[in-house]
Structures are given as C-alpha cells and as structure tokens.
Amino acid sequence: MAEGLTIFGKEVFDTLFIDWKIMVPVAIFSIIMFFVGLYLQLNKWGQGIPEGATKPVGAWGTLKLIVHKIFERGIGPALGIIILDGLFQRRTWRRRKTEWAMHILIFWGYLGLFILTVVAAATEFYGPFVLNETPGNPQLFVQTFQVLKPFNMLFATMLTLGIIIAIIRRLAFADVPPARFTSVDWIAIAGLSIVIITGFLAFYLRLDVYHVPGRELVSAYEATTPGFFNNITVLFHEVFTLLFCVAYLPFSKLFHMFVTPLVIMMQKGGYVEVNA
C-alpha cells in the first residue's frame, strides 16, 4: 500500500483517505485547469476595448483593468465595497432577502470548504517541514483535522442549505417566472448535487460504517478500518469535487460566484440612489 509522498526527505500526504498518487495529480490538474480557464475568460473579456483605448487589451490588460477599477477611488472605499458588496452582498440583501440567504450560504459554504482545504494542505506541510515531525508521526495534522471537522460540517451544511433554498425557491416561491433553463444550469445543479450527496455519503461511511474518527496513517487504515482506504465513494467524491469545483469552475455557470462580486466592485457598488 502506498504511503506518503516524499519531498526533500519529508513525508506528506500520508494520512489522506485516498492514495496521493491519485489525489495529487488530480489536484494539480484541477489547479492548472482552473488557471487555464481563468486565462481563457480573461482573454475573452480582453477582446473588448476599454473606453479611451483603441485596441483590445487581452487577458493581462483585463486583469490590470480589474485591479485598477476596483481601487480607482483608493483603498478605503474599495475595501468598504469589497466587504459590503463582495463578501456580504449588500445589493442582493436590499432587494431579495431569500436569494441573499441562499447566496450567502452557498458562497460562504463554498469558500469555507475551500479555505479548510487550503488549511489542511498547508498543515500537511507545516508538520514535517516546520515542526520537523518524524515520518509516521503526523500528530499536528491529526490534531488540526479534529479542529477542522466541525467547521467542515458547518460549511457543508451551509452549502447544502443554500442549494435546498435555491431549489425550493425556484419551485415554490418564485416571484417572477423562472429564467430559461439551459444545459449549463443542468450541469451546475447536477454537479453540485453529486458533490453534496457523495460528500455526505462519504461522511456517513467514514463515521457510521467504518468508524473512522479522524485521520491516521495510510498504513493503519487496513488494520483499523479495512475497506475504507480508497473506498470508491470517498475516492469518487474527492476526485469529482476537485474536478467539478476547481477544474471546471471557470467554464461553468458557477463562475458567476467570482465574476458577480468582481463586477460590483469594479462598478463601485453599482447604482445607488443619488439623492437618498
């Protein structure tokens, strides 16, 4: 059975639920695809010509334009808009409270899970590289994982609640006729549903079927929880989540999660009542 990945004599990823030989390449592929997608989007937007310019600005020019427009009035006002309109979606709050709840739950649920993933990955390296943990003793990571678990549950529940609100609102409480549904919408809903269902299934397997309370060394899984390591459900969930939520993100409808706040920030909060 595979153990961790050795980098500069230090061992990392030796407590993953699935083989790092699968996980690491999929993660790297996903991140590369994310940046490729981001570049393609920037390049597409960059085919536009900004006011006062004479030719398209391209991907790099668009990136500069985004930063310039957000901070055009200085850091203070920009931060205000980033916090109020980007992170707390003030415009949606003013007009559509249910949608605001849905967006906040999905946005923060998604972002929270992403941040936890980054923290977990960083901890993988922090133990062996900074604390000089000996191979086969991933104490820091195991402790950190215990701390992250409730947050993981919280963000996953937020994401789920958000999606449930989205579906119920669309089916039962829509105040305007529903928007035209396209294949892009179906892919988004189907993909997110798969992520969530398999996520909870994996969670259930881990806790209720295999009784895996936390992380342990890869080599220990066979002894303590035979059949859990590289379990097909867990494997599928983690690989699919990486591919769908990271690699496919810039190509999907879900990309508006980033574009919409960016546009609001570039528009300095958008329309506001001048005399209000």
Partner 1 sequence: MAKNKPAISLENLTPTQLMEYDACTRCGECVKYCPTYNARNKDQAIEPRDKILRWREFVTKSYGWKAKIFGPAAIPPEEIKKFTDDLYNCTTCGMCGTVCCAGIDTIELWEATRANLVKHGTGPYGKQSLFPKLIGEGHNPYLKQQKDRLAWMTPDIKIVDKSDIAYFIGCTAGYNQQVLGVSTARILNKLNVPFMVLGEDEWCCASALIRTGQQHLGDVPKQSALHNIEALKARGAKRVIFACAGCFRAAKIDWPRAYGKALPFEAIHMSQFLAEQLDAGKIKWEKSLDNKTVTYHDPCHLGRHVGVFEEPRKVLKSMPGVKLVEMERNRNEQRCCGAGGGVKAGIPDLALGVAKDRMGDAKATGAEVLISTCPFCRRNLLDGRDDLKLEMRVDDLVVLTANLMGLSTDVKPPAPGAPKESISDLFRTQTIPPKPPEPPKAAAAPANAPKEAPKEAPKK
Interface ranges with partner 1 (CB under 8 A): 37, 40-41, 44-51, 56-57, 61-62, 65, 69, 85, 89, 91-92, 95-96, 99, 103, 174-180, 182, 251, 255-256, 259-260, 262-264, 266-267, 269-271, 273-276
Q: Which residues contact 26 (CB under 8 A, 6 or more apart)?
A: 239, 242, 243
Minimum separation from the CB atom of position 188 to partner 1 (A) = 11
Minimum separation from the CB atom of position 93 to partner 1 (A) = 9
Closest listed residue to residue 142, CA positions, set 218, 201, 222? 218
Stated as kind and residue range, the H or E segment containing 12 is: strand 10-12
Minimum separation from the CB atom of position 275 to partner 1 (A) = 5
Nearer to partner 1, 55 or 150 (CB): 55
Nearer to partner 1, 190 or 259 (CB): 259
> Between β-strands 5-7 and 10-12, what pairing exists: parallel, antiparallel or unpaired?
antiparallel
Amino acid at position 267, single letter: Q
Minimum separation from the CB atom of position 203 to partner 1 (A) = 29
Minimum separation from the CB atom of position 169 to partner 1 (A) = 10
Amino acid at position 187, single letter: I
Q: Tell me 10's DSSP state.
A: E
Nearer to partner 1, 151 or 251 (CB): 251
Minimum separation from the CB atom of position 272 to partner 1 (A) = 9
Q: Which residues contact 32 (CB under 8 A, 6 or more apart)?
A: none
Nearer to partner 1, 33 or 218 (CB): 33
Nearer to partner 1, 8 or 271 (CB): 271
Q: In angstroms, rounded to a whole number, what is the distance separating the alpha carbons of residues 185 and 213? A: 37
Nearer to partner 1, 55 or 226 (CB): 55
What string of DSSP letters covers 119-139? Answer: HHHHHHHIIIIIS-PPTT--H
